[in-house]
Amino acid sequence: MRATLFVGALVCLFVQAAALSDEGAPKPAVDKKEIEQLPGLYKVAGRGGDVGNVYCVLTPEPVLIDCGSRVGWDQLVGNLKLLGFSPGDVRWVIATHGHWDHMDAMALFQKDFPSVKFAIHAGDAQFVIHDDRVFSCAEPLYKGVESAPVKVDRILLDNDTVTVGNTDFHIVHTPGHTPGSIVVVAQIAGKKIAFCGDSIAGYYSLLNRSSTIDWQISLKKILALDLDWVYTGHGHDPVDSKDEIRAMVESQLDAVTSKRKLQESDEPYRGLESEMRKGR
Ligand SMILES: [Zn+2]
């Protein structure tokens, strides 16, 4: 059931742009059991398209995988409080990529809690440092929401490891959705878990500098990781079986491959993409 729903959701995500919700800001949980995924792993923010999922790994200091947009700030702060922490206790935020819905809240951390460090892959770092509002989707998808430049404390490259306390966060570069998309892999409660951001289920756009060729290679790289659980950047549940993970990744591989065929048959489109790539 979950797998069927997931594949359906993937197809939607691929073709449909995320959007701002009109439901008001998301709220924190009442009980920490609501946000616990595994011992030491919590989902501390996330709501649909405008607040990407934020995962907190206790190392035992809190490390966040993504920090969402400012729309989810109160939810994030409230959930950290439930775990006994303030935002200033967060040691690192590791961004899966540089889109507004996944990392805009870093500007709020840096304003009031400057000890919190931010890491992002080299391929997306340039866009967040300069607050590129077209790349980040702040303009084209989220219609003029607030954003701000973000300072990068560590530039990540493929195969890097961020070690905090007793946990190693292994960085796998998976360009495609954006040039600097990554998958963060960690062993948590005996499981090999990957936080994938939009590397599997994201949408294709020239404004993201998406690349179907890179994406095909990245999806095959994710298949080879032999993961136990996968968390995507949007949606509720982990994908918690190897068969479901394979089905999800292969479904996106099919979608990306079709997109590539479309693109190859369209010369002006290819030309536009190559022009944009020169400006990278
Ligand atoms: Zn994205």
139 CA → ligand 1 middle, Å: 14
Report the 10 Å Cβ neighbour count for 131. Answer: 16
What is the structure's pLDDT at 52? 96
187 CA → ligand 1 middle, Å: 24
205 CA → ligand 1 middle, Å: 10
Residue range 184-243, pLDDT digits in tens = 999 999 999 999 999 998 888 888 899 999 999 999 999 999 999 999 999 878 999 999
171 CA → ligand 1 middle, Å: 17
Domain interval for residue 173: 2-278
Report the predicted TM-score, pTM, of the whole model to 2 decimal places: 0.88
165 CA → ligand 1 middle, Å: 29
47 CA → ligand 1 middle, Å: 14
99 CA → ligand 1 middle, Å: 5
119 CA → ligand 1 middle, Å: 16
What is the structure's pLDDT at 40? 96
What's the total number of domains in the chain?
A: 1
46 CA → ligand 1 middle, Å: 14
178 CA → ligand 1 middle, Å: 7
17 CA → ligand 1 middle, Å: 10
189 CA → ligand 1 middle, Å: 28
Task: Give exposure, 223-240, as e/b (b: 16+ Cβ within 10 Å).
Answer: eebebbbbbbbbbeebbb
pLDDT at residue 6 is higher than 80: no
d(CA 201, CA 237): 14
What is the structure's pLDDT at 267? 43
What is the structure's pLDDT at 237? 84
Q: Give the DSSP letter of residue 9.
A: H
- What CATH code is carried by the domain that includes residue 175? 3.60.15.10
Residue range 79-127, pLDDT digits in tens = 999 999 999 999 999 999 999 999 999 999 999 999 999 999 999 999 9
d(CA 66, CA 53): 7
